[in-house]
Structure 1
Amino acid sequence: MSNPSSLVLPPYKGSIVRVSALDDGRIALPAKFLIQPPMFGHDILDIPAFCFLGENDQAGKKVMFDLGIVKAWSTKIGPTRESVRGEEHCSCLFSSLSSIKAIIWSHHHIDHRGDPSLFPSTTSLVVGPNFKSNPAIYPGYPNNPGSVTNQDAFNGREVIELDFSDSQPTVGNLRAVDCFQDGFFYILEASGHTHDHKMALARTSEDKFLLLGADAAHHRGEFRPTPLIPLPDSITPTPFEHPNSISVCAGAAFEPIDRSSSSGAARTTPFYETSPIMMTDPNACQETLEALKVFDASPDVLVIIAHDYTVLDFFELS
């Protein structure tokens, strides 16, 4: 695994972006669908579905990274399922949808693509490599009865298919595209979960970044702990409810539940692995996850994955 000190982040070009996280509903699934091995008491994941608004006031540019859950189940994708609970679409939060220059789909799954048809034709839709050549997702339904996407997402707007084959720069061993050519929002090739899966790297200050990990992982236990971020010997102040609780070694408290406790590597081995159900390409999925670990270990990068319920305890969300 690479050392985080070797992570070369893009140079500052005088432009930053403000990122807002939008909470677009909940998904309840058996944990085994997303992560393995099974752990007692962690059978169901009731997780949020985040989408993100990036705003560059200096250049007057706004971009959406994902649109959350598709809400119009009955007319777009069939009967409602109890496992998905969505509120109003994130588009309802904007007074002027015409201000959004582009929608970037991290990938084509139902809990990320939302409803681009609500946005004006001036808003372009950015998709991943080979998107348009995959008959399972393009064209959309009903033009293509077997498609899992909807044609009205594409009608009348520019659909930009990314090509990372000649991309410069490379960021964290991932090929990257500078979305607006001014250094504040990069799209990173991160396939494995799906063939068109991408992450985004947003510069929030001159030397700090936010990595939008989408579905590169569905739980932080897939990329923590690692040799780069091992379980600590102690935590100060205590994480326990009562300040006068008996002091324990934080690492030792978690070691027994780690899948590598018998090998003595519990403090440096992630608690979970990605479920095979969540992979279209296991090798690419692992490569993306390894890159995610390096970003996560950098003091200059905050990683947020699309379904990270721990964020709900620390951030005020729209």
Structure 2
Amino acid sequence: MAGDYLVDPKPPPNLNIPESTCTVQVSIIDSTSRFELNIAPFLQPDIKGKTKLTCPAFSFLIEHASGKKILFDLGVRKDFENLAPHIVEMAKKGGWIVNTVKNVSEIISENGTEPKDIDAIIWSHLHWDHTGDPSTFPNSTDLIVGPGFKEAFIPAYPKNKDSPLLEHDWEGRNLREVYFEEEGNGLKIGRFNAMDFFGDGSFYLLDSPGHAIGHMCGLARTTSSPPTFVLMGGDACHHGGEFRPTEYLPLPTSISPSPVPKLHKGFCPGALFQQVQPDKKADVPFYHIAEGFAHDKKVATWSIHGVEEFDAADNVLVAIAHDDTLLDVLDFYPNTLNHWREKDLSNKVRWTFLRDFAEAVEEQE
């Protein structure tokens, strides 16, 4: 394997995922949300040619053997202008371009799953591009949030005029906050405190703090023998270059399909991208978090390193919420992701983000 990479990879740490024969059915939903933001306030350093984050916002449908169905994140609500005034004003000042064609509730209804069939919505965190519109689900659908949420964000708008959230999103429904230390019984998966959601090892919530108060990832077991998993990364990272390459997964010597087909058809040398990596290193990510973006930059960076460890495991598919490179590769709802490994989807998508640096590579040539 060493000859396949520009530098020798280090063995990744053991994730210590408990054994189980129980799985869930996982579908990734293209929520139809699309938005465009300047990249500089979010990720640094500047890399020539990459000035915008052009993002989808993914949701996940998790179906348990018991018949229970849950959604992990909801993308952006269709009527974006009806978000809390604080967020709408921020979007205007920032020049955000935001468009959503359908709410997730509409998408699942069109494919045979009614909103009343959803037992719970899990917000990876509180931000507007993940919370969607819970009011399109009945009050029988619980809303599950991460640690610290209630203390930090209740009351919400209109009781708190400056809140980024709407009180209406949880009024009349069970708002459940996850307490990892109590509910997880000391369970750790990778570096993260974890909670076995269904109690059978099929789906875990991971305490992945830093980006926002209460941020969580989801880890779904997609097959049992051999065990495979999908990590729903939320906003632990925002771009592939934020958690790739790493010391466990350096740039390969040859990349196929070529991220720069104008220069190299079929495949291209990984060394081209090492030259545009800000530190000229093959085992360090291209980006780091910009100052002032994360709730706690140091802790958020720690969580990113945790995602890197999952990404280095060949039986884990990492799907962060805004990774536009997934759109052309993954099987989207109503299809499922459970056979992602058989289809080699992780390898097909892993280095696709490098296409964002085509202009920088062309300048080097």
The question of a shared fold, defined as TM-score above 0.5 by the shorter chain, is answered with yes
Provide the rounded CA distance (Å) in 2 between the counterparts of 1:247 and 1:69.
36
- Give 1:278 shift: 2.5
Q: For 2:181, what is the secondary structure of its paired residue? A: coil
Answer yes or no: is the 8 Å Cα contact 2:146–2:216 preserved in 1: yes
Root-mean-square deviation over aligned CA pairs: 2.3
Q: How does 1:1-318 map to 2 (within 5 A)?
A: 3-4=11-12, 6-56=14-64, 58-78=65-85, 79=88, 81=92, 82-95=96-109, 96-134=114-152, 137-166=153-182, 167=184, 168-206=186-224, 207-235=227-255, 241=261, 245=265, 250-261=269-280, 266-318=281-333
Answer yes or no: is the 8 Å Cα contact 2:256–2:267 preserved in 1: no
Provide the rounded CA distance (Å) in 2 between the counterparts of 1:224 and 1:244.
21
Answer yes or no: is the 8 Å Cα contact 1:66–1:103 preserved in 2: yes
Answer yes or no: is the 8 Å Cα contact 1:107–1:128 preserved in 2: yes
Structure 2 CA distance for partners of 1:115 and 1:242, relative to 1, 3 Å: closer
Q: Which runs of 5+ in 2 are unaligned?
A: 1-8, 334-365
Structure 2 CA distance for partners of 1:169 and 1:23, relative to 1, 3 Å: same
Q: Which runs of 5+ in 1 are unaligned?
A: none
Deviations 1:99-123 (A, max 9, x none): 1111000000000001111111111
So what's the TM-score if we normalise by structure 1?
A: 0.91
* Structure 1 residue runs of 4 or more that deviate by more than 4 Å after TM superposition: 79-82, 236-240, 242-248
Structure 1 counterpart of 2:276, one-letter code: I
Structure 2 CA distance for partners of 1:89 and 1:245, relative to 1, 3 Å: closer
- Give 1:40 shift: 1.1
Structure 2 CA distance for partners of 1:238 and 1:41, relative to 1, 3 Å: closer
Structure 2 counterpart of 1:313, one-letter code: D
So what's the TM-score if we normalise by structure 2?
A: 0.79
- Give 1:98 shift: 1.1
Structure 2 CA distance for partners of 1:72 and 1:238, relative to 1, 3 Å: closer
Structure 1 counterpart of 2:62, one-letter code: G
Provide the rounded CA distance (Å) in 2 between the counterparts of 1:247 and 1:148.
45
Answer yes or no: is the 8 Å Cα contact 2:255–2:267 preserved in 1: no
Structure 2 CA distance for partners of 1:236 and 1:258, relative to 1, 3 Å: closer
Q: For 2:223, what is the secondary structure of its paired residue? A: coil
Provide the rounded CA distance (Å) in 1 between the counterparts of 2:293 and 2:66.
37
**Which stretch of structure 1 is more off in the superposition, 194-203 or 14-23?**
14-23
- Give 1:191 shift: 0.7
Answer yes or no: is the 8 Å Cα contact 2:257–2:266 preserved in 1: no
Structure 2 CA distance for partners of 1:245 and 1:178, relative to 1, 3 Å: closer
Structure 1 counterpart of 2:158, one-letter code: P
Provide the rounded CA distance (Å) in 2 between the counterparts of 1:213 and 1:24.
18
Provide the rounded CA distance (Å) in 2 between the counterparts of 1:141 and 1:233.
52
**Which stretch of structure 1 is more off in the superposition, 85-94 or 74-83?**
74-83
Provide the rounded CA distance (Å) in 1 between the counterparts of 2:266 and 2:43.
32
Structure 2 CA distance for partners of 1:2 and 1:60, relative to 1, 3 Å: farther
Structure 2 CA distance for partners of 1:70 and 1:252, relative to 1, 3 Å: same
- Give 1:238 shift: 5.7
Q: For 2:129, what is the secondary structure of its paired residue? A: helix
- Give 1:47 shift: 1.0
